[in-house]
């Protein structure tokens, strides 16, 4: 499956408190959470994000709390994919579980610039920066995690008996 | 090649004689934990899974602690979802206002976790119970739902950093200073995906409260879990709290570690993490002149009786500086009661502090102490990210209860020796 989108780029240690501040955690409604996504870090995010855009981050993306509200807010903002140098582990699990595609690729995260058009092949892990012509390859997910992703997240995986 | 403590617990819980770092395992869970923020999302996912009953009514714990007593209508709705669910499923360990405490203080206090357990919680500070010799890690709401429905969860077996502790802490130095020192050394992703395993002769000088604080902040170094080798101090604590029979897992002599870090506890001095990352640490002698507006003493990191007693020992007979608001939050009702019986509440109130019912409130900028634009707080909590305690242009400085109390008196960041 190939996705193409424009990049919104951030730095290292993007924490869950800036992705979705705790003052908005009184709801589990993804669309409502998306209204406040990134607002403490980047007040322009909400106005410039378009459906299909890709977030590129640095090291330790999603560090901090376990709130699943963080990947939910990103996904509901229209972002299907986050590429980063590394992900904090709970954010990593949560993203897989809710079906937000995440790709760990330090080279791509370094080279890709804000505003670049990027094409990502989730099956092969190939990333093409259409703007610059550079291409990158991320390591594929372990098989069990691929099964969760292809089932459509952990809820579907449990329903299909992958966890028993 | 041998196994670490964490690897042994994961092997035992997944029916394996041996596991290696990087392997994926499906592990049986001894406890699944959630709170009023994460559980409503988990309950929705639990229902989507088609589950009708929790896997074991004694092995699910739901604690209303983030926004209770209900801070607003939305928070009230969230708690109601949890209350209704636990009522309907007959969940044994549901803790509401009056019985509740901050989850990571209440669970060890009530003996709900023991050494050798495998625990998940939809709260990142679930790693706290590693202090008891358990494998315990924070997860999201969907993982919690899977745990509640099946009693199992997948894990990637972590590699580990071994912390070899020697010596003993100096006066006015606590577990908080040790963990801030460690995070300052290895960074906020220094233990990413890894276990932080604590052992060595120095353990003998660390109280359970110190260990709980250190395990609690494993996540601030990116760690999957923090875990302490079980010793007499652990076993005495588990007995006192009525926990079930412990199972002790010791690391093999030939266990492999990514790193071994030696820490001489006697060399640690009070440490403060400056905005906006827990790794931005400075020792107390290098903090400079930082004026403050608020002090928070409490949270899952430092809301235990020992923490409050340390703060009270500094505040006793002294007064909070003009212009500083000091908020003290005992982490559980039992701790609150003991503070009352031993005169600590009187000390706090006479010193000009306000004492709150147990809540996570101010730590995450929820309520009960939100910061205005440009304000600075010294806090015994665990995170100082942008906007963590309120306005995006406010600042949080993380410190021990001794330093927080001394700072409240001085009106600027200060060590206890400056005011005593």
pLDDT of residue A148 exceeding 90, the answer is no
Question: What residues in A contact B219, CB-CB < 8 Å?
Answer: 64, 90
pLDDT at A149: 80
pLDDT at B303: 98
In the three-class reduction of DSSP (H, G, I as helix; E, B as strand; rest coil), residue B184 is classed as helix
Does one domain contain both B386 and B284?
yes
Among A58-67, A135-144, B2-11, where is mean pLDDT lowest? A135-144
Which among B66, B153, B385 is the nearest to A17, CB-wise? Answer: B385
Q: What is the pLDDT of residues A30-76, one digit of tens each?
A: 999 999 999 999 999 999 999 999 999 999 999 999 999 999 999 99
pLDDT of residue A164 exceeding 80, the answer is no
| Residue B202 near residue B168, CB atoms below 8 Å | yes
Does one domain contain both B22 and B75?
yes
Cis bond upstream, residue B241 (ω within 30):
no
Does one domain contain both B143 and B284?
no
Does one domain contain both B174 and B227?
yes
Inspect the interface and report whether the beta carbons of B153 and A163 lie closer than 8 Å: yes
pLDDT at A145: 84
Report d(CA B400, CA B386) in Å as an integer: 20
pLDDT at B355: 98
Does one domain contain both B99 and B220?
yes
- Mean per-residue pLDDT, B113-136: 98
Inspect the interface and report whether the beta carbons of A21 and B140 lie closer than 8 Å: no
Does one domain contain both B342 and B224?
no
Does one domain contain both B293 and B242?
no
Which CATH number covers residue B349? Answer: 3.30.499.10
Please report which confidence band the pLDDT of residue B336 belongs to, taking 50, 70 and 90 as the band edges: very high
Inspect the interface and report whether the beta carbons of A21 and B365 lie closer than 8 Å: yes
List Cβ neighbours of B234 (8 Å cut-off, separation of 6 or more). Answer: B115, B131, B132, B133, B208, B211, B228, B246
pLDDT at A122: 87
> Of the residues B200, B230, B265, which one is the last residue of a structural domain?
B265
- Domain count within chain B: 2
pLDDT at A163: 75
Question: What residues in B contact A26, CB-CB < 8 Å?
Answer: 37, 67, 71-72, 74-75, 77-78
Which among A21, A67, A89 is the nearest to B224, CB-wise? Answer: A89
Inspect the interface and report whether the beta carbons of A159 and B49 lie closer than 8 Å: yes
pLDDT at B278: 98
Does one domain contain both B307 and B412?
yes
Q: Average pLDDT, whole number, for chain B?
A: 98
- Mean per-residue pLDDT, B109-132: 98
pLDDT at B260: 98
pLDDT at A153: 87
pLDDT of residue A110 exceeding 80, the answer is yes
Does one domain contain both B282 and B259?
no
Does one domain contain both B229 and B317?
no
Which residue from A minimizes the CA distance to B154?
Answer: A163
- Mean per-residue pLDDT, B28-35: 98
Inspect the interface and report whether the beta carbons of B364 and A22 lie closer than 8 Å: yes
Q: Is B354 exposed, middle or buried (0-12, 13-18, 19+ CB in 10 A)?
A: middle
List Cβ neighbours of A104 (8 Å cut-off, separation of 6 or more). Answer: A84, A85, A86, A87, A138, A139
Does one domain contain both B226 and B282?
no
Phi, psi of B142 (to 5 degrees): -70, -40
pLDDT at B146: 97
Domain range spanning residue B370? 272-418
DSSP B367: S
Which among A94, A142, A163 is the nearest to B152, CB-wise? Answer: A163
Does one domain contain both B258 and B278?
no
What's the whole-model pTM score?
0.97
pLDDT of residue B182 exceeding 80, the answer is yes
Long-range CB contacts (within 8 A, 24+) of B340-345: B342/B309, B344/B308, B344/B309, B344/B312
pLDDT of residue B349 exceeding 80, the answer is yes
pLDDT at B1: 85
pLDDT of residue B11 exceeding 80, the answer is yes
């Amino acid at each position: 499956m190939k996705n193409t989108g424009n990049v919104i780029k951030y730095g290292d240690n993007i924490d869950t408190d800036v992705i979705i501040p705790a003052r908005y955690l009184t709801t589990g409604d993804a669309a409502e959470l998306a209204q406040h996504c990134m607002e403490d870090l980047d007040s322009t995010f909400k106005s410039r994000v378009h459906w299909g855009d890709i977030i590129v981050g640095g090291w330790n993306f999603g560090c901090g709390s376990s709130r699943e509200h963080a990947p939910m807010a990103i996904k509901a903002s229209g972002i299907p994919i986050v590429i980063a140098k590394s992900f904090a582990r709970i954010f990593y699990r949560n993203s897989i579980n809710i079906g937000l595609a995440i790709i760990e690729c330090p080279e791509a995260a370094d080279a890709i610039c804000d505003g670049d058009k990027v094409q990502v092949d989730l099956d092969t892990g190939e990333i093409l920066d259409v703007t610059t012509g550079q291409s990158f390859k991320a390591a594929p997910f372990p098989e069990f995690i691929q099964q969760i992703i292809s089932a459509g997240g952990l809820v579907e995986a449990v329903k299909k008996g992958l966890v028993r | 090649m041998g196994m670490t403590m964490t690897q042994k617990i994961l092997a035992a819980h997944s029916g394996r004689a041996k596991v290696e770092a990087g392997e994926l395992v499906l592990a049986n869970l001894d406890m699944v934990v959630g709170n009023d923020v994460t559980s409503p999302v988990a309950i929705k996912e639990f229902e989507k899974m088609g589950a009708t009953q929790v896997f074991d009514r004694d092995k699910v714990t739901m604690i209303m602690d983030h926004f209770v007593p209900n801070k607003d209508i939305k928070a009230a709705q969230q708690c109601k979802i949890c209350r209704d669910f636990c009522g309907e499923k007959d969940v044994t360990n549901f803790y509401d206002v009056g019985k509740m405490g901050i989850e990571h203080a209440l669970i060890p206090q009530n003996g709900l976790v023991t050494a050798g357990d495998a625990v998940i919680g939809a709260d990142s500070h679930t790693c706290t119970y590693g202090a008891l010799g358990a494998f315990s890690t924070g997860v999201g709401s969907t993982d919690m739902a899977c745990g509640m429905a099946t009693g199992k969860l997948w894990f990637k077996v972590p590699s580990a950093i071994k912390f070899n502790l020697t010596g003993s802490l100096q006066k006015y130095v606590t577990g908080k200073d040790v963990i801030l020192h460690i995070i300052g050394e290895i960074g906020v992703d220094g233990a990413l995906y890894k276990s932080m395993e604590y052992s060595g002769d120095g353990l003998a000088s660390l109280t359970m409260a110190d260990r709980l604080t250190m395990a609690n902040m494993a996540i601030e170094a990116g760690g999957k879990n923090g875990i302490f080798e079980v010793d007499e101090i652990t076993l005495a604590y588990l007995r006192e709290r009525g926990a079930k029979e412990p199972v002790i897992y010791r690391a093999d002599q030939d266990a492999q570690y990514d790193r071994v870090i030696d820490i001489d506890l006697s060399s640690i001095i009070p440490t403060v993490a400056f905005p906006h990352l827990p790794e931005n640490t400075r020792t107390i002698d290098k903090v400079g002149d930082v004026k403050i507006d608020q002090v928070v003493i409490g949270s899952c990191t430092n809301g235990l009786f020992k923490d409050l007693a340390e703060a009270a020992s500094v505040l006793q007979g002294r007064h909070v500086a003009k212009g500083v608001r000091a908020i003290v939050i005992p982490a559980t009702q039992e701790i609150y009661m003991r503070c009352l019986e031993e005169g600590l509440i009187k000390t706090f109130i006479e010193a000009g502090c306000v004492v709150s019912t147990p809540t996570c409130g101010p730590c995450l900028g929820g309520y009960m102490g939100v910061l205005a634009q440009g304000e600075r707080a010294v806090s015994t909590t665990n995170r100082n990210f942008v906007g963590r305690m309120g306005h995006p242009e406010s600042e949080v400085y993380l410190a021990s209860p001794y330093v927080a109390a001394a700072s409240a008196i001085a009106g600027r960041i200060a060590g206890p020796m400056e005011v005593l």
